[in-house]
Amino acid sequence: MAVLSNARNVNISGGHFTAINGQTGSKGMTSASLQSIGADTWPGMDRLREHSALAALLNSNERFDPPRCDEDTRVGIIQDIMAWINSDDHSASMTVLHGSAGAGKSALEQTIAERCLREGILAASFFFSRTALNRSNGNTLIPTIAYQLAQIYPPFRQRVLEQVDRDPGVFELSREAQMEKLVVKCLEFRPPSRLRRYLRRLSFRTPDPRFLQRAVVIDGLDECNDHDVQCDLLRILASTTLKLQLPIRILLACRPESHLMHALNHHPALKAIPVRRIDLGDDPDADTDICTFLGKEFQKIKDCHPLRAHLPPSWPGEVIIGNLIAKASGQFIYVSTVINYVRSLKHNPEVRLQVVLGLQPSRISTDRPFSQLDTLYSFIFSCVKDIDTVFRILGILFLTATSGTVFGLRPEMTTPAFLEQITGVKPGEIGLALDELLSLLTIADRDQPIKILHASLFDFLLDEDRSGTFALDVALAHETLAIWRWKCIDKEHKGAPPSLLRYCLLLNFARFAPDWMITQEHAFTCFLRHSRHSPLSDGFITTYLDSVYLLDSRWISFGHGMEHFKYDSAIIELYRTIFDRQVLKS
C-alpha cells in the first residue's frame, strides 16, 4: 500500500509511519491489521511475530471455512455473552464456556468473535487445535495476544516493542512473567487530565483507552498439548483480569476436562477470582436450535440439490427429524455430520439419509457417513489408559439402558459407588478410569447415575467397522455382572456349605422359603442370564469353582443326570456348563 499516494511535492526525512489497512471499528479503532513502515524498522515486532501463532487467529488462512452457528441458533447464549462484553463494568472479567465434545463450542466462539470484529470490539483471538503444531503450543498464546493488541492499539504497540527491544529474552521467561511484561504492564493506563481528555476528544487522535476493543476470544484450551500448561494458562488469564485497568473481556472455551474443572473449583488463585461459567449442557434451547438447523438444511437440499425434483415434498418428515434430534443429545456435531453426508451433490439425499438411519446399507464399501464423528470418538478413546475397565463400565451402562429389565439392572446400579461394588475396584477409581471421557459423559456425584451425553456413542462402539480397535465387547460387561451376582449369592450363604447342589435344593423349596430366598432366586436367574452371554474366561469359571466342592466323577455324573429330577432347567444348564468346561480343562 502506498502512503500519501496522491500527494505532491512532499519531502519527508526520517520518522516512523503507521499505515492503517481496513475499516475503522465503531469504537474508533481499526478492526484490521496495522502495517509498520518507515525509514526506521521495529525489530521487536519481528521477534514478537516469531514467537506468535498467527495461524490461530480468527481469520487466518489455516482456519479457512471454520464452523459457525447457524442463523437463529444459540440466540440466547450469544445475546448473553455479547451483553457481558458490552457491559458498562469498567473492570476486566472472564467467562469460561464449557461443554461436551461436539456441543458446538468452536462454532459459538467463531460466531461471537466475528460479531465482535464487525462491531469493532475484538481485541484478540486464539483458536487452539491439537492437530496443528503451532496452534497446540500453549507457549504461543501470550505473545500472540500481545501481537494482536499491538496491531490495534498504537500506544500499546510502542510500549510492547520497547519492552521486547529492551529485553529480547522475555520470551524465555515463564508464561506468567510474559503476561506481566508483554500485556499487563503495556496496558497500564493513567487517566489524563480533563484538559487533555477534552483535547483528545476534539482531535480524534487516540480514543480513550477505556473504549478500545475489549473482547479476547480463546477457543479450545483443552487442545493445548499439555495439561499442566492448560491449567497454568487458565490461572494466568483469570488472575490477569484483576491486574488490568481496562475493561477487557476474556471469553475462554474448553471441554469440561477434569483437570480444568478441578482448577476452576479448587485452585486457590482461581477460587478468589469471580470467573463466570456457562455450561452448554444446560442450554434449554439446544434441541430447538438443532430442530431449526435441521429444518433449514433439509430445505436447502430440497431447494438446491440436483435431484431435488425426485425428493418427496414431505421429506424427510417429522418422525425422522425427531429421531435425529434424539440421537444428537443436544450435540451439534451429530446433526452437522449427518447434513454434510446427506447433502452430497453426487449422491441421492434420500438414499443417504436411509443409510444414516441404518435402514439400508451403503452401496459403497468405503462409505463412512459418520467419519467426522468417528474421528472425534476414536481420538478420545485413544487417550484412555485403563480401556478394559472403561469398556466393562460402558457395557454395564449400555445393558442398563437397553436391557435393564431382562438382566435385573436398575439406574441406581450405574452410580460410581455401585459400579465400584460390581467391578471390584477401590473407591474413587471409577472416576479415574472415566477421566478421559468426561467430554462424553458426566459424573455428578458418587451416588448419582453416570449420564451419557452422546446417544450416538454406543452406535459407534458397537459397530466394529466404525470403532475398529475401540469396539465395545458387551460380553465383558456380562462377565463382570455374572461374577458380581455370584459373589452376592455366595456371600448370602456365608457359613453354609458353599455348594451349588445345596443352592439348587434350596431353590426347589422356594415356595416355602422366606422373602430373602426369593430375592436370591431372582439374583440367580440374572446370574445365569449373564453367564450365557459372557466369554467364560478362566477367571470367570474359577470364580464359580472356588465356591463349590472339588468336582469328581460322582458330581459330574450326578450333574449330567439331574434331568431325571424335576429341577429347574436353567439350573441344570448351569451345572452342565460348569461341569463340561471343567472336563475340557482337565
For residue 441, list its beta bridge partners. Answer: 452
Helices 553-560 and 569-585 pack at an angle, to 10 degrees, of 140
Encode pLDDT of 443-490 as tens digits. 989 999 999 999 999 999 999 999 999 999 999 999 899 888 878 876
Judged against a pLDDT cut of 50, whether residue 389 lies above it is answered with yes
Encode pLDDT of 93-148 as tens digits. 999 999 999 999 999 999 999 999 999 999 999 999 998 888 999 999 999 999 99
- In the chain, the amino acid numbered 337 is T
Highest mean pLDDT pick, 6-20, 213-227, 532-546? 213-227
What whole-number distance in Å separates Cα of residue 295 and Cα of residue 564? 65
Residue 576 in contact with residue 559, Cβ under 8 Å?
yes
Judged against a pLDDT cut of 80, whether residue 74 lies above it is answered with yes
User: Regarding beta strands 34-38 and 16-20, do their DSSP bridges make them parallel or antiparallel, or are they unpaired?
Assistant: antiparallel
- Distance, C-alpha 435 to centroid of its chain: 12
So where are the chain's domains? 41-279, 286-369, 375-472, 477-585
9 confidence band (pLDDT: 50, 70, 90): low
Select the more confidently predicted residue: 185 or 566.
185
- What confidence score (pLDDT) does residue 535 get? 74
Grid coordinates of 318: 417429522
- SS3 category, 276: strand
Encode pLDDT of 296-305 as tens digits. 999 999 999 9
- What confidence score (pLDDT) does residue 53 get? 96
How far is CA 347 from each of CA 128, 307, 324, 370, 371, rounded to the nearest angstrom?
34, 9, 20, 16, 17
- What confidence score (pLDDT) does residue 560 get? 42
- What confidence score (pLDDT) does residue 360 get? 79
What whole-number distance in Å separates Cα of residue 291 and Cα of residue 100? 19
Highest mean pLDDT pick, 89-93, 238-242, 543-547? 238-242
Judged against a pLDDT cut of 90, whether residue 383 lies above it is answered with yes
Lowest mean pLDDT among 15-19, 312-316, 365-369: 15-19
Encode pLDDT of 193-242 as tens digits. 554 455 445 444 444 544 467 899 999 999 999 999 999 999 999 999 99
Residue 159 in contact with residue 86, Cβ under 8 Å?
no
Judged against a pLDDT cut of 90, whether residue 153 lies above it is answered with no
Select the more confidently predicted residue: 40 or 276.
276
- Which of these, 483, 269, 306, 327, lies nearest to 396 by C-alpha position? 483
Average pLDDT over residues 554-573: 42
Judged against a pLDDT cut of 80, whether residue 566 lies above it is answered with no
- What confidence score (pLDDT) does residue 489 get? 73
Buried b (16+ CB within 10 A) or exposed e, 241-268: beebbbbbbbbbbbbbbeebbebbeeee
Sign of CA dihedral 502, 507, 512, 513: positive
- SS3 category, 94: strand
Average pLDDT over residues 378-401: 96
- What confidence score (pLDDT) does residue 561 get? 41
Give the HSE-up count for residue 308: Cα atoms under 13 Å, Cβ half-sphere. Answer: 10
Q: How far apart are the first and last CA of the chain?
A: 88
Q: What residue has cell string 433449514?
A: 296
Share of the chain above pLDDT 90, in %: 59
- In the chain, the amino acid numbered 252 is L
Average pLDDT over residues 60-72: 92
What whole-number distance in Å separates Cα of residue 250 and Cα of residue 183? 13
CATH of 41-279, one of 3.40.50.300, 1.25.40.10, 3.40.190.10, 2.30.29.30: 3.40.50.300
For residue 254, list its beta bridge partners. Answer: 98
Which residues, 6+ apart, have CB-to-CB distance to 583 below 8 Å?
Answer: 556
- What confidence score (pLDDT) does residue 361 get? 78
Residue 478 in contact with residue 402, Cβ under 8 Å?
no
Share of the chain above pLDDT 70, in %: 74
Judged against a pLDDT cut of 70, whether residue 18 lies above it is answered with no
Which residues, 6+ apart, have CB-to-CB distance to 136 below 8 Å?
Answer: 128, 129, 130, 223, 224, 225
- What confidence score (pLDDT) does residue 268 get? 85
What whole-number distance in Å separates Cα of residue 541 and Cα of residue 479? 10
Element (DSSP H or E) covering residue 219 = strand 215-219
Which residues, 6+ apart, have CB-to-CB distance to 560 below 8 Å?
Answer: 575, 576, 579
Average of per-residue pLDDT values in the chain: 81
